[in-house]
Structure 1
Amino acid sequence: MNNTIGLWHGEGQERAVLLSDDRWEVLPPEAAVDSEPWPILPWARWQALVENGELSPRHAGVMLDPDEDPEVLTPWVGQLPLIALQFPGFMDGRAYSQASLLRTRLGYEGDLRALGDVLRDQLVLMRHCGFSSFCVRADKPAAEAIKGLSGFDQIYARSVASPEPLFRRRERR
C-alpha cells in the first residue's frame, strides 16, 4: 500500500517510518487470493477461506468493519500477521475501541493497521489505542502526516502504548 506509516522499535526507542516497501494490499471481493501481494481480506471472506482449509491464517491479513466484534478473531489471534481496522469517516471512532480490545483483552501482538479516513491529527491517539501502522488517506502525503506522531505525545490517562498514567510515569523519574 502506498502512503503507509509504520512504527519501528529499536535501540530502546520508537519512531515512525514510511513503509515504501509495504506489500500488503486490500483485495477486492472477487479477486483471487495469492501470496503476492500479501492479501488483506474482509472478515467474512477470510473466515470462509480459513475454515474451508483454502487459506492459512498466517498467510493473509484480515479486515474488520467498524460494526464487527474483534472477539470473532479469538481463535486465530496468535497466528494473524496483520489486522486492519476501518475508519470510514473522520467522526467514526469505533476502530479505536476495536484496537484497544484487540491489544488488551485479546493480547494481539501483530501489526494492527488503520485504514480509511486516516489523517495526521488522529495518529497519536491511534498509536495510544494500539495501532502500529497507518494507511494515510490517499489525498494526504504520508511524509507530512508522519509529523503527527512526533508532536504532542503525552497523554495523562493510561493507554495501550503507555500502560501507566502520567503521574506514575513522573514518580518513576
Structure 2
Amino acid sequence: MQKLIKDGQIQADTWTLLAKAEGEAAAAEVPAGQVIIPVAVWHAQKDALQQRTDIGVWLDSDEAADLIGADANRFPVLAVNFPLFMDGRAFSTARLLRERYGFTGELRAVGNFIRDQLCYLRRCGVNAFAFADPETNLEDAVKSLSDLQEYYQAAVDQPLPLFRRRA
C-alpha cells in the first residue's frame, strides 16, 4: 500500500486517486471506496455522488479553486495536483481553498512536487503529501517540513506577520 505524509506523520494512503477520464466526465466510472475524483467528474456526476461520504475531489494546476467553491467542506479530502514541480499554481489554489472557502479537511498535494516545497506548501494550508515517485524517502521528507522556523509573512498556518507577533 502506498504511503503519504499527513499532519507530519507517515501513514498508509487509504484513498485512490482517479485519473482524468479520456472521454466525457459524465461517463467516468467512480469505484466504491475512498476515491479522489477529478473536479470535472464531480460536476458531471454531482447528483449521483453527493450522498457519498467517501468522495474527495482533486484540482489540476489549471483549474481554479472556484470550481469547488462553496462545496469545499462537503468533502473529507481535497487535492491539488502538481503536473510539474515548477508549476506553482497549486500553491495559490490551496491557499484559496483554506482562506476563501474555509476548507477544514485534509488538503493534499499530489503529483510532481519536490521535498524542498513541503515547508511552503504547509504554509499554504496543505497538510498531506502524496508523492508521485514511490521511491521518495518519506522520513527525510518529514524532516523538511521544519526547514524554516520563522517567517516574515502571514500565511494560512501563521496568520500574523512577524512584526505583529513581536509587538
TM-score, structure 1 as length reference: 0.84
The DSSP-based 3-state class of the residue aligned with 1:156 is coil
Map of 1:73 onto structure 2 = 68
Give the Cα–Cα distance (whole angstroms) in 2 for the partners of residues 57 and 157 of structure 1. Answer: 39
Map of 1:12 onto structure 2 = none
Task: Quote the RMSD (CA, aligned, Å).
Answer: 1.8
- Residues 123 and 156, structure 2, Cα contact 8 Å, conserved in 1: yes
1:55 offset after TM fit, Å? 4.5
- Residues 5 and 134, structure 1, Cα contact 8 Å, conserved in 2: yes
* Among candidates 133, 149, 152, match of residue 128 of structure 2: 133
Give the Cα–Cα distance (whole angstroms) in 2 for the partners of residues 140 and 60 of structure 1. Answer: 26
One-letter amino acid of the counterpart of residue 4, structure 2: T
Same amino acid, percent of matched pairs: 39
Asked if residue 2 in structure 1 is aligned to residue 39 in structure 2, the reply is no
Structure 2, gaps ≥5 residues long: 23-27
Asked if residue 112 in structure 1 is aligned to residue 111 in structure 2, the reply is no
One-letter amino acid of the counterpart of residue 39, structure 2: W
* Among candidates 31, 35, 45, match of residue 34 of structure 1: 31
- Residues 42 and 49, structure 2, Cα contact 8 Å, conserved in 1: no
Map of 1:97 onto structure 2 = 92
- Residues 119 and 140, structure 1, Cα contact 8 Å, conserved in 2: no
One-letter amino acid of the counterpart of residue 143, structure 2: K
Give the Cα–Cα distance (whole angstroms) in 2 for the partners of residues 42 and 127 of structure 1. Answer: 22
TM-score, structure 2 as length reference: 0.87
Map of 2:9 onto structure 1 = 17
1:34 offset after TM fit, Å? 3.1
Give the Cα–Cα distance (whole angstroms) in 1 for the partners of residues 70 and 102 of structure 2. Answer: 12
Displaced runs of 4+ in structure 1, greater than 4 A? none
Asked if residue 166 in structure 1 is aligned to residue 154 in structure 2, the reply is no
How many residue pairs end up in the alignment? Answer: 160
Give the Cα–Cα distance (whole angstroms) in 2 for the partners of residues 98 and 130 of structure 1. Answer: 10
Give the Cα–Cα distance (whole angstroms) in 2 for the partners of residues 101 and 39 of structure 1. Answer: 23
Map of 2:151 onto structure 1 = 155
